[in-house]
Amino acid sequence: MRTIAIDLDDTLNDFTETLRRLEFVRDGTFALAEPVFQDYLARVRLGEVAGGNLLSTEYTYFRQRIHQVCYQKALARPDGVAFLQGLRKDGWRIVICTQRDLRRAQSCTRQWLAENGIPFDHLFMAGNKIVFCKCWGIEFLVDNDEFNIIHGSRYGVTVFYPRTAASPTPAEGHSDDPCGPRPFHNFEEILPWIQG
């Protein structure tokens, strides 16, 4: 059975755009002063991850809550949904591989996948998706993370990534590499590369 791994945020959905466009209003459940709320929200929108030795802080809890709302409201890419539905019909195993903290977001992630008609066999949280794919014997990864795009081919993982203005340019020498990263505008472009 052929297997493909696919990322969620900013690959299969519009997470960053959702984070930018949604209006978040401070209510009593946040227990933060308005200036702190606005400061934290600005930091979340900039993608700031809290530093330090603590696993959980007031900011990381706030960030997780904002992200959870975005996970639920993000719009799925219709071409991505159709792509995965087509792979399912062709007998592919589909692994959703995300950096989301699934200890906190498992339920809302599964609900979002079901509501959008996205078929999958497994749902995993993985910090290093290249290592994950290598361990599982997965040769194809659809992901927008620059690290995976640049280093996937070194480990025999072909990475397909959505082409945007902010997309990284693959390192020199990947153009002739059969495992080299490949940008796409529409998920349909991936099909000829994985069929064979």
Q: What is the pLDDT of residue 28?
A: 84
Q: Which of 3-12, 58-67, 177-186 is most confident?
A: 3-12
Task: Report domain extents, the chain.
Answer: 3-12+76-194, 15-73
Q: Which of 15-19, 50-54, 177-181 is most confident?
A: 15-19
Counts for the chain of helices (H) and strands (E), in that order? 8, 6
Q: What is the pLDDT of residue 176?
A: 58
Which burial class, exposed, middle or buried, applies to 28 when counting CB atoms under 10 A from its CB (0-12, 13-18, 19+)? exposed
Give the up-direction half-sphere exposure of residue 33: CA atoms within 13 A in the CB hemisphere: 2
Rounded to an integer, what distance in angstroms lies between the CA atom of residue 187 and that of residue 1? 21
Rounded to an integer, what distance in angstroms lies between the CA atom of residue 187 and that of residue 39? 37
What the block records as the tokens of 62 is 């706030």
DSSP for residue 77: P
Residue 53: pLDDT band with limits 50, 70, 90: confident
CA distances from 89 to 92, 140, 154, 196 (A): 8, 18, 31, 16
Specify whether the CB–CB gap between 130 and 151 falls below 8 A. yes
Q: What is the pLDDT of residue 168?
A: 56
Amino acid sitting at position 99? Q
Q: What is the pLDDT of residue 171?
A: 47
What the block records as the tokens of 63 is 């960030």
pLDDT, tens only, 89-117: 999 999 999 999 999 999 999 999 999 99
Q: What is the pLDDT of residue 196?
A: 67
Residue 66: pLDDT band with limits 50, 70, 90: very high
Class of domain 3-12+76-194 (CATH, top level):
alpha beta
Please say if the pLDDT value at position 193 is more than 50: yes
pLDDT, tens only, 16-45: 999 999 999 998 888 899 999 999 999 999
Average pLDDT over residues 76-88: 98
What the block records as the tokens of 147 is 């690290």
What the block records as the tokens of 174 is 């990947």
Rounded to an integer, what distance in angstroms lies between the CA atom of residue 79 and that of residue 19? 21
Contacts of 54 (CB under 8 A, 6+ apart): 60
